[in-house]
Amino acid sequence: MITFNRVIALPDQDSGLSKGYVRLANCHIGTCVDDKSKFIRRIPVKIANQDNQSWIVAYPLGSNGLKGLNKTSLALDYDFRLLLGVNKSKTTNLLATKATYFEQLAWYCSHPDNATKTSMRLGVIGCLLGMVSLIISIF
């Protein structure tokens, strides 16, 4: 669990809802799954705004030489900043934690991208119908 108080703009090559990246300082990125104090590259994290309780799920990456990125800042694209209700020029109160399975499921079922949201909802409905049919076939 890490608190961030500043947001900077993510470069254009990393931006977009379909990518869902967040850039963190390299000191926050670990290489071993057993290290609980750091985030692993491309393992989903939940970033929550403590002021308005909005949250997103994003995939962390290292800094890649991004200017202005330090231990207390993170880089988000425009869409994620809008969803969190933060401005890149103001102080923020963001908390980053590893995303649980159910947080990921909830995020993708309510994703801002309609293609992602629809496919996830269809997958969940298909799984539920499969369980119902299994129960019916047993009894």
Annotate 34-90 with DSSP letters as a single string: T-TTSEETTS-EEEEETTT--EEEEEEE--TT-TT--TTEEEE-HHHHHHHT--TTS
| pTM score of the predicted model | 0.86
Model confidence at 24, in pLDDT bands (50, 70, 90)? very high
CATH topology of domain 2-99: Barwin-like endoglucanases (2.40.40)
Which pLDDT band, with edges at 50, 70 and 90, does 17 fall under? confident
Q: What are phi and psi of 56, to 5 degrees?
A: -135, 165
d(CA 15, CA 119) in angstroms, rounded, equals: 21
